[in-house]
A and B are shown apart, each in its own frame.
Chain A
Amino acid sequence: MKIGVFICHCGENISSTVDCPRVAKICESYPGVEYSVDYKYMCSDPGQNLIREAIQLYKLDAIVIGSCSPHMHERTFRNAAFSAGINPFMVEIANLREHCSWVHDDIESSTLKAIELVRMAIEKVKRDKPLSKINVPVTKRVLVIGGGIAGIQAALDVANAGYEVVLVEKEPSIGGHMSQLSETFPTLDCSQCILTPRMVEVHQHPKIKLLTYSEVVKVEGFIGNFKVTIKKKARHINEDLCSGCGMCISKCPIKKKAYNSFEEDLAFRSAVYIPFSQAIPNIPVIDETVCTYFQTGKCGMCLKVCDRGAINFDQKDTVMVADIGAIIVATGYKLYDIERKSADLKYKGYGEYGYGKYRDVIDGLQFERIASASGPTSGEMKRPSDGKEPKKIVFIQCVGSRDDSKGISYCSKICCMYTAKQAMLYRHKVHDGEAYVFYMDIRAGGKMYEEFVRRAIEEDKVKYIRGRVSRIYEENGKYIVKGEDTIAGMPVEIDADMVVLATAMIPQDNAPALARTIGIPYDKYGFFNESHPKLKPVESTTAGVFLAGACQSPKDIPESVAMASAAACKTIILLSSDTLEREPVVAKVNEDLCAGCFYCQKVCPFGAVEVKDVKDINGIVYKEVAFINQGVCQGCGTCTATCLSKSIELSGFNNEEIFAEIAAL
């Protein structure tokens, strides 16, 4: 075998601490090495040419590149090798940058280490075998989880490209948080007005199958070939018969037993209800927990008044399985609960602000409902306690955000903007009212964002006070907000009629559970992780699963939509070919030696290991062995490490190759 060694300087990234010419020179003398050279930028066009020419000139069989991490350029060098006529898997990379030059500073010892690393790669490449790519078929159907603006946008984009979409939403209607908003920054256009047409489009799109009041319970399979189990919860309404007339809702005698969560608990709803008037689909749901029929077996008023016979108390949850090629997760966010009834035990909350105790201390989404023309006050500024118009209102930013001691460390990013918006909306509605904002910093990066905040300050006379609020308490019907103006360096006290807390954006409660169901990683807060923070922001680390919207990190609407379209585009690329090429780095069981303990099956995170019967000449099963589905296997190597009898080999990383690398040290 003839091996070529190519040592890259990576500009000065490697060569400043590793003597690259010396590494190349020494490697020349190693057995098997036919040619060895160093060069400033191996990945550049001339660098790749150098490799190609050397392969042809010296008739090389395999090459070793000493360069940056294989994450960076393995593919580049494999392609270069392939175009010069050698199998792309006869290429090994010694990571001289992340594993050597970047982490050491002594030239002599890092050069010696670089030599060792290259030698290990040489020993491995000697044992490498040519591999060929694996082709797997692709199911041309996309699952979108979550029907907020991100999910809606992604579903529409994919469907408009001609592919089938299954959109799963856990609530009875799509729309997500955007449907609750009044007007939106930075243009102050009405949220419902821009959202509703898209919701309708989703509903009517021939390529979109909409499953509301449904949840994903199981995801099996792999990129291009997922099998997804979806549970559709019983609405107790026959969707095919219901015309959405709302008769049942108006006649339901249970009016004040359940809070309306769409109205952020500022209003009640009946036992049979539609979350909001523009809901898609316009089909009610019966809430078993408060419905008299479900509680006592009596009533049945809705049954009597529905002239289409759509009420069905006996309806059961149904489960369906869908074949899916790619998944877009768009499950959005929720607000930091403070001390609300479903208080998040994880965070300690802000008891000193009196949220939950004073009815006029509300959160941002509650304000959106009060400001919304379709909300509980029909858009009039009325405070929850007594319906009076608040003449003095205080907004407090960063409640929960940027607070290591009581909340979360990150910046929720949108609160500065929505607070400015809300203060502005307040001033537009209450001309003689005063609006104060307590802030830590104003973060208004974005097109027309800074201008928007300035407008609130300059045109709408919103008074911004830099500093934190220490306490809020009630006195003579006023809420005394005690804080500190850190610019003036003095304490401030405002007697407000209403207080709005800009609470942090956190992931949905079920996000970690869903992540485990799908098999994607999440961060310590519960936001889903992207594959690369810069270069792969919409891909999850699981092939075929993409992310969109606020489920990945706090985002406003434009960002959520952009991310959704990007994720849609990635899935469309995926579905555009009939088969998928997979790296041939997969595990394979030696059936003669496998003891059939199936520990590999237990540990495989992708469910790639199956049971195979081995029969003798008479057709009698004499043992069961593990069998790895090469389409499912992701080459993680967990089984290889677990197998006690070393009966599994990972192609490209087999025992012999790894052993040779270690032995070369």
Chain B
Amino acid sequence: MKELREHAKELLEKGEVSAVIGYSQVSEKRTKPIIVTDPQDTDQLVFNEYCLNNLAVYLTKARIKVSCRTKDKTLKLAVTAKPCDVHSVVALIQENQIHREDIHIISFNCHGVAKDFGFEFSGDNIASKCINCETHKPLYFDKIFGEEKETPKASDDAMERIQEIERMSHQERFEFFKNEFDKCIKCYACRAVCPLCYCQRCITDKTIPRWIESSSHMRGNFAWNIVRAFHLSGRCTGCGECERACPVDIPLSLLNRRMAIKAKKSFSYVSGRSLETPTLVGSFNEKDNDELFM
């Protein structure tokens, strides 16, 4: 913790970055995002199993971005990112939202986080994405802290549910998601926390014409959730923030993970893992598997 704070302080004092996006402790099992611009405030920074938020989402916020730019140069932005959050950073770089050289990535050796605030971190309460996580070490970083520790063992219930959905008939699957989407209140919290939902104007806000009905009626709910899943297929890095943010507990990551599995199976592509591979969306190869075409 000490090293993290000192590092952040140094970055700010030397003027290498214009801000450090990080976590501060709120209570014992709860943290919140903070954006530190004053070196004095760096002693609020923490990193632990309760740092749930994916802070990559802030990298594209226009006001933060603009604050880094002056006429002759762009200051860097430092971001504290778990190894899985680094995947989002990679995806953002691939999609031209940020440039690698404008970002200073502070990452950690990570052994998992709690499933939500207020839960004691343990095998019973570990976030589902952490159970089979393959990147306890970040794939890209500028500074790394923390020592390697064992991840608590747990069973991957979500995966079981995905397989269960896979086994359903089309009709059953449709009914299943219909029931889930029925709960949606169109608060767009999922969109707000998603690092890859960076569009200035989302298609659902487009009014001429209005492609997606905006009231929280089944018609619009279905369209919204399906369109969002489509827009994220091959892009979602699986941070699970949408599901955690959803106030009515729609299992959004079931949908997203299923799409990710398809992308991996059909195109051997996993989003956010490499700056060198072309993005799945927008790249074409003659040898591409075309069985997904209807």
A residues with CB within 8 A of B? 592-599, 602-603, 616, 618-622, 624, 642, 644-647, 655-656, 659-660, 663
Contacts and interface: CB of A to CB of B under 8 A. Distances in A.
A595 B199 contact: yes
B75 to A, nearest CB: 12
A3 B201 CA distance: 34
A642 B71 contact: no
Given A596-B96, A659-B211, A603 B203 contact: no
B161 interface: no
B108 to A, nearest CB: 29
B95 A597 contact: yes
Interface residues on B, range: 20 to 34
A622 B71 contact: no
Contacts of B211: 646, 655, 659
B198 to A, nearest CB: 6
Contacts of B202: 645
Nearest to B282: A602
B230 to A, nearest CB: 9
Given A597-B95, A646-B211, A659-B209, A603 B199 contact: no
Given A655-B206, A660-B209, 19 more contacts: A592-B200, A593-B201, A596-B97, A599-B95, A599-B279, A603-B284, A618-B71, A619-B71, A622-B62, A622-B66, A622-B69, A624-B96, A642-B282, A644-B199, A645-B200, A646-B203, A655-B208, A656-B208, A659-B209
A595 B282 contact: no
A620 B70 contact: yes
A13 B250 CA distance: 54
A407 B114 CA distance: 64
Contacts of A603: 282, 284
A636 B96 CA distance: 24
Nearest to B201: A593
Binding site secondary structure of chain B: loop
Contacts of A624: 96
A376 B151 CA distance: 78
A522 B70 CA distance: 51
A646 B200 CA distance: 11
Given A642-B282, A660-B209, A620 B203 contact: no
Interface in B179-238: 198-203, 206, 208-209, 211, 231
Interface in B39-77: 62, 65-66, 69-71
Given A592-B200, A642-B282, A659-B211, A622 B97 contact: no
B209 to A, nearest CB: 3
B281 interface: yes
Contacts of A656: 208-209
Contacts of B70: 620
B283 interface: yes
A624 B279 CA distance: 19
Contacts of B279: 599, 602
Nearest to A599: B282
B283 A602 contact: yes
Interface string B68-112: 011100000000000000000000000111000000000000000
A128 to B, nearest CB: 14
A595 B69 contact: no
Given A598-B95, A599-B282, A646-B206, A620 B199 contact: no
Nearest to B278: A602
A376 to B, nearest CB: 41
A606 to B, nearest CB: 14
Contacts of A593: 199-201
B65 A645 contact: no
The list of the 10 closest CB pairs from A to B, nearest first, reads: A602-B282, A659-B209, A645-B199, A599-B282, A595-B199, A597-B95, A593-B201, A644-B231, A598-B96, A646-B203
Contact of B203 (A616, A621, A644, A663): A644
